[in-house]
Structure 1
Amino acid sequence: MNIIPYHEIRKISPEKARELVRKVFEANNKNVSKTAKILGVSRHTVRRAIYGPLEDKSRKPKTCPRKLSSELENLIIQEAKRTGFRYRRLSLYLFRKYGVKISENTIKSILKRNAVPRKTRKTKKGERSLYDYEALIPFSEFQLDTKHLLDKDSLPKEVYEHIKKYNLPCYEWNMIDVATRTRFTAYSYELSSAFGFMFISLVALWLRTHNVRTPIKIRLDNGEEFCGGSERKLKEWNKMLSFLGVELNPIPPKAKHLMGIIENSHRADDEYFLMIHAERCKTKDEFIQRAQRWQDTWNFFRPHSGKGMNGRTPFEKFIDSKSLVSSHVFQFPTLLLEDILKKVGTFYSLFCNKLGGKYVFTTYLFYLYLSQFFAAAFAATVLYYKGVFKLCQ
């Protein structure tokens, strides 16, 4: 009797192999030992084929103490689809939002097993650096931009709905120092050139108050909240801001890559601040307070791996530069521009109102008032944050 070996048939089909065992078993008077000898298998294999099912049993462990619960696994999948994060950023995101620490490898396996798609980004390689980062002096080169919090593209839908429901600020104003990555932030409900000029003036005054003596060059886009691509308006702004040693340098049209540093910071805002903390705020005061803590976290505690930073925080980079600028410059208060406009509205209107096509310059009064305001704001900031600087939780 020519019989194909059991193990060769099993490679093709386990069910057919066990059917063969049963046929040989019946042909040999149901003798287990003789059947095992003919097929070249163990008696246990023969008994398994005869008394058990034809299909292979599952090799899944009956108990797995270290396996994540199904609820937690579903949460990982849900947040991965919601945010578009992969395993590394998702691990940090879950820890910050839910306080759950999960290994990157565990998340990677879950995403792979459930075939969660990843978002791809197109990047250009081989481009030259935007600055000579090693030669930059702190607080001499800046990038300035605004972020529309309701852009309906970067954040989950629930966050947008929450911001609208509780009437939280809609626009974020950012100025970032290229050398140290220090950020100065404000918020507003409207986007206008009046707020744009105000924000630049406020940051410039703050820098000059804290012993920044170098010329301040600010790179910005051609948005309507700034000069809007108008050469006349750019000359007027540069003339007015020359009192503070500030020079505005708009980027050419369609050259957004020149603003790469501040654009990356906006992405960090989405991932580490807005996605986590915006839904926890129900008033503008709560939002501004958390925004202040996020700015402090960025400036004092968050390490940066960009060019020239080498894993240091902005404050550490500033200390290593041995600059003569006061370290209190890092305590810039996060502001709501509408509130500031109410406080300095009289002087600001005198400064910005047109009369016969010319601006009326009341520089001394305007700057004197703002200096007094920032002196009070600085004192309040020191008292409030003295010993309280810590990670945004």
Structure 2
Amino acid sequence: MNIISYHELRKISPQKAREVVRKVFEANNRNVSKTAKILGIARATVRRAVYDCLEDKSRRPKNSPKKLKSEFEDIIVEEAKRTGFRYRRLSTYLQKKYGLVISENTIKSVLKRNKVPKKTRKTKKGERSLYDYEALIPFSEFQLDTKHLLDKESLPKEVYEHMKNYRLPRYEWNMIDVATRTRFTAYSYELNSTFGFMFISIVALWLRVHNVRGRMKIRMDNGMEFCGGSERKLNEWNEIFEKLDLQLSPIPPKAKHLMGVIENTHRADDEYFLMIHAERC
């Protein structure tokens, strides 16, 4: 017959293990040393089982001087639900917006403790890279796109209201070098092809002035702020920009995935600029 030791019984049920200690203790004339010897435990363990309660006491410390303040924890939970960020991006976001330096592990614990749900994104597996990045020459391949700042999909409601009330620019123009991720940005109140032509010209001239000599190719969509799908207009623009050794290359219809590099910058703008700084303007 196998006899279960005190330590094995304690793993099954701490309460039953202490009840056994009390029975042995009473059967041996309340002798602490003898009880400890029979059960193979320390005398202090016998005293705790006899004179304390049967349930385990909480191991939570009485004082936690480094514990995160409740108001900071409320901010973490609120911003996590509002933005959908997880611990890594949320740590950077809180530092930039509130000046709070909180470690990623602390934020992870707060989110887990408050059961903040994680937002998931569907991604397609097995897709090829847009470019051969190892062979890519700096300032040779660009992506060009615009962003409607009041699209009411990616920013909190209060940010949109602030931008409307203070009549901030409605449109953001972006051109990014794929190899170096160098980005050129401008803002406007209107969206038309005149501004599109001016933006491309300014960026191209700036690059040429700063000794960028190679041929440049700009990938863009078929929006009305550029060539709008017009073959005649595209040829006219390319003829003009050929003097700067620059070529415009529109993407095919319904091929927005080819603009993945510039689209990611829109998301970064939302998270690390507009969400934080728009209401300060």
TM-score, normalized by the shorter chain, greater than 0.5 = yes
Matches of 2:213 and 2:19, distance apart in 1: 90
Q: How many residues align?
A: 279
Aligned twin of 2:47: 47
Q: Which amino acid in structure 1 is aligned with residue 120 of structure 2?
A: T
Q: Is the 8 A contact 2:147 2:173 kept in 1?
A: yes
Residues 18-61 of structure 1: CA distance to partner in whole angstroms, max 9, x if unpaired? 22333333444444344334433333222222221111011122
Q: Which amino acid in structure 1 is aligned with residue 145 of structure 2?
A: D
Point out 4+ residue stretches in structure 1 off by more than 6 angstroms.
none
Q: Which amino acid in structure 1 is aligned with residue 89 of structure 2?
A: R
Aligned twin of 1:152: 152
Helix, strand or coil: the match of 1:175? Answer: strand
Offset, 1:130: 1.7
Tell me whether 181-190 or 55-64 shows the greater mean CA deviation: 181-190
Aligned twin of 1:348: none
Helix, strand or coil: the match of 1:147? Answer: strand
CA RMSD of aligned residues (A): 3.1
When residues 210 and 13 of structure 1 are mapped into structure 2, their CA distance, relative to the original with a 3 A threshold, is closer
Q: Is the 8 A contact 2:130 2:258 kept in 1?
A: no
Q: Which amino acid in structure 2 is aligned with residue 24 of structure 1?
A: V
Aligned twin of 1:268: 268
Matches of 2:22 and 2:72, distance apart in 1: 45
Aligned twin of 2:99: 99
Offset, 1:144: 0.9
Higher fraction of helix = 1
Tell me whether 244-253 or 233-242 shows the greater mean CA deviation: 233-242
**TM-score for the superposition, normalised by structure 2:** 0.82
> Any stretches of 5+ residues in structure 2 without a counterpart?
none
Matches of 2:111 and 2:258, distance apart in 1: 35
When residues 129 and 248 of structure 1 are mapped into structure 2, their CA distance, relative to the original with a 3 A threshold, is closer
Matches of 2:202 and 2:4, distance apart in 1: 88
Where does 1:86-235 land on structure 2 (aligned, <5 Å)?
86-121=86-121, 122-125=123-126, 127-131=128-132, 134=135, 136=137, 138=139, 140-207=140-207, 215-235=215-235
When residues 220 and 46 of structure 1 are mapped into structure 2, their CA distance, relative to the original with a 3 A threshold, is same
When residues 12 and 208 of structure 1 are mapped into structure 2, their CA distance, relative to the original with a 3 A threshold, is closer
Q: Is the 8 A contact 1:130 1:258 kept in 2?
A: no
Helix, strand or coil: the match of 2:60? Answer: coil
Matches of 2:274 and 2:154, distance apart in 1: 10
Helix, strand or coil: the match of 1:277? Answer: helix
Q: Which amino acid in structure 1 is aligned with residue 67 of structure 2?
A: K
Where does 1:227-266 land on structure 2 (aligned, <5 Å)?
227-239=227-239, 241=241, 246-266=246-266
Q: Is the 8 A contact 1:171 1:189 kept in 2?
A: yes
**Percentage identity across paired residues of the two chains:** 75
Matches of 2:20 and 2:110, distance apart in 1: 39
Where does 1:70-85 land on structure 2 (aligned, <5 Å)?
70-85=70-85
**TM-score for the superposition, normalised by structure 1:** 0.61
When residues 112 and 149 of structure 1 are mapped into structure 2, their CA distance, relative to the original with a 3 A threshold, is same
> Any stretches of 5+ residues in structure 1 without a counterpart?
282-393
Q: Which amino acid in structure 1 is aligned with residue 252 of structure 2?
A: P
